[in-house]
Amino acid sequence: MPKKARAAVVPEPNADLEIREYEIPELVSGSALLKVANVGVCGTDVHLWHGKLSGVPYPLILGHEVVGTIAEVGPTEVTNIDGDTIKKGDRVVFHDVTKTCYSCWHCLIAKNPTKCPNREVYGITRNPEKWPHLLGGYAEYVYLTPGTHIVKLPNHVSFDGASALGCAMPTAVHTVNRSPMKFGKNVVVQGAGPVGLMITILASISGASTIVSIDQAENRLKLAKKFGATHTLDLSATSLEERIQFTRNVTQDHGPDIVYEATGNPLAIREGILLVREGGAYSICGQYTDGGDVEINPHLMNRKHLDVRTVWGSETKHLYEAIRVLSSHYDRFPFEELVTHTFSLDEAQEALETQERRESVKAVIKPWD
Ligand SMILES: [Zn+2]
Ligand SMILES: [Zn+2]
């Protein structure tokens, strides 16, 4: 059992990351120690670094998209979601959300466990000043507290392949599950970042008839083609009128059945409402941080008879299904290509800045490199 672990810590909002060393506490019953192979650098990490999410303790060890190898298991058996015993050497991922109570009003009555007020999230809400300290992925080890939901990685899936999913794929699974996706549907995906690309994959394997991916980054549009988009539209090279016309041209002049928003830009909402067909569905999952107000026309939404849905967070089942999709379609889509940048733990600051400049599709930190 290792004694200490290095971690990259945000001392306070907007301050440069520091490397700190923590004692690894003894493993209690039900816990396990994970040796981190990769931790994904997420857009949310940049927002956390800037102190933009409420209820977050600082100092903070970032990192909620963690894959790695079990280094040690506590004194009692630990099992994964399938009920298999977790052993030293197993390659695993875990759901970043833990402590969903399944006994509050949100969990039991409203059936919205992603709104459970008791939830804690590795790398976001868990305070490293308290036991057992190592609760974020920008570290050599993560202490998996009792009750953490663990999923084993299939042998044919590499750590980079698994890191391609990040928290984007569980979000995409949740989003697509809440939408009326069926084979034969015409789909538009606004945004070809990680979430948009994962929605594109899910639309493709669900049998969508057309999938139009819209973004302004050429490299992302190229990836969208590789991940199932039938058409791409460059936001910076087309007008709104041209985009509306194009999406009508490929749908017998009806417009798309479902538009998915995965941009993070509030202006996308105005466009999405214009693009979607009459009686169609609009699924919004990209507005995770508050980008401010935009003008929309409620009459247009009403007149179009729209089905509008939004998504907040993910449940363990979405991570589980994400890994099943990855496993089944690993040969069809080049998941590993999504990991465009890798950094060491000492380069964590640079990793965040690269993500902030949107240069990377998926950046990962490899703490042992
Ligand atoms: Zn609850
Ligand atoms: Zn994330």
Residues 174 and 319 in one domain: no
In the prediction, which pLDDT does 272 show? 98
In the prediction, which pLDDT does 34 show? 98
Looking only at the bridges linking them, the beta strands covering 97-98 and 120-121 are antiparallel
In the prediction, which pLDDT does 71 show? 98
3-state secondary structure (DSSP) of residue 195: helix
Residue type for position 352: L
Mean pLDDT, residues 42-51: 95
Residues 142 and 21 in one domain: yes
Residues 96 and 231 in one domain: no
Residues 266 and 241 in one domain: yes
Residues 239 and 281 in one domain: yes
Residues 275 and 177 in one domain: yes
Mean pLDDT, residues 261-277: 97
Is the model's pLDDT at 73 over the cut of 90? yes
Residues 206 and 144 in one domain: no
Q: Pick from 294, 310, 326: which residue ends a domain?
A: 310
Instruction: Tell me which residue range forms the domain holding 10.
Output: 4-167+314-365
In the prediction, which pLDDT does 289 show? 85
* C-alpha 211 to ligand 1 mean position (Å): 36
Residues 218 and 161 in one domain: no
Domain count, the chain: 2
What share of the chain in percent tops pLDDT 70? 100
Residues 131 and 195 in one domain: no
The string of pLDDT tens digits covering residues 312-354 is 999 999 999 999 999 999 999 999 999 999 999 999 999 999 9
* C-alpha 166 to ligand 2 mean position (Å): 6
**How far is residue 4 from each of residues 144, 173, 366, 367, measured CA to CA in Å?**
15, 37, 17, 14
In the prediction, which pLDDT does 290 show? 87
Residues 163 and 173 in one domain: no
The DSSP H or E segment spanning 272 is: helix 267-275
> How many Å is the maximal CA-CA distance in the chain?
65
Residues 180 and 233 in one domain: yes
* C-alpha 330 to ligand 2 mean position (Å): 21
Residues 91 and 172 in one domain: no
Question: What's 331's domain CATH number?
Answer: 3.90.180.10
Average per-residue pLDDT for the chain: 97
* C-alpha 106 to ligand 1 mean position (Å): 6
Contact 191, 361 (CB under 8 A): no
Is the model's pLDDT at 288 over the cut of 90? no
* C-alpha 312 to ligand 1 mean position (Å): 15
In the prediction, which pLDDT does 1 show? 86
Mean pLDDT, residues 28-37: 98
What is the separation, in whole angstroms, between the first and last Cα of the chain? Answer: 20
